[in-house]
Chains A and B, each alone.
Chain A
Amino acid sequence: MNKQKFLTFLLGAQSTLPLIAGMLPFGMLYATLAGEAGFPPWLVIFTTIVVFGGSSQLVFIDLYQTLSSAFQAVLGANIVNARHLIYSAGVSSHFSSYPVKWRLILSYLLSDHLYSVSETHKKTIDSFSAELQPWFYFGSGVCTWVSWVLSAVVGVAFGQIIPKGWNLEFSIPLMFLPLIFMTAKNRYAYLTCLFAGALVVLFYKLPFGLGVLFSILLGSFLGFKVQKYGRQKK
Chain B
Amino acid sequence: MSQDLWIALCVSLLGLITFLYRYSFVSSQGKKVAQRIPPSFLMLLGPATFTAIVINNLLASQKMTDFHLKGIVLCVSAFVAYFTKSIMATLAFGLIFLYYLQNTPF
Binding site for B on A (CB under 8 A): 18-19, 21-22, 39-40, 43, 46-47, 50-53, 56, 60, 64, 70-71, 73-74, 77-78, 81-93, 95-96, 103-104, 106-108, 110, 112, 115-116, 119, 165-168, 170-185, 188-190, 192-193, 195-197, 199-201, 204, 209, 211-212, 215-216, 219-221, 223-224, 227-228
Q: Let me know if A22 and B87 touch, CB within 8 A.
A: yes
Q: Let me know if A88 and B24 touch, CB within 8 A.
A: yes
By DSSP majority rule, is chain B's interface helix, strand, loop, or mixed? helix
Give every chain B residue within 8 A of A116 (Cβ-Cβ): 46, 50
Complex CA gap A212/B50 in Å reads: 10
**B78, chain A: closest CB distance, angstroms:** 6
Complex CA gap A37/B63 in Å reads: 22
- Please judge, given known A-B contacts A89-B34, A189-B47, A193-B47, whether A200 and B56 are in contact too, CB under 8 Å: yes
The 5 closest A-B pairs by CB, nearest first: A50-B15, A92-B34, A96-B31, A183-B46, A70-B10
0/1 interface trace, chain B 32-49, chain A, CB 8 Å (1 if under) = 001101111111111111
Q: Let me know if A96 and B25 touch, CB within 8 A.
A: yes
Q: Let me know if B99 and A89 touch, CB within 8 A.
A: no
**B53, chain A: closest CB distance, angstroms:** 5
Q: Let me know if A71 and B10 touch, CB within 8 A.
A: yes
**B34, chain A: closest CB distance, angstroms:** 4
Chain B: residues with Cβ within 8 Å of the partner, total of 68
Give every chain A residue within 8 A of B39 (Cβ-Cβ): 93
- Identify 4 new A-B residue pairs, CB closer than 8 A, beyond the known A193-B51, A212-B52: A21-B91, A115-B46, A170-B94, A228-B40
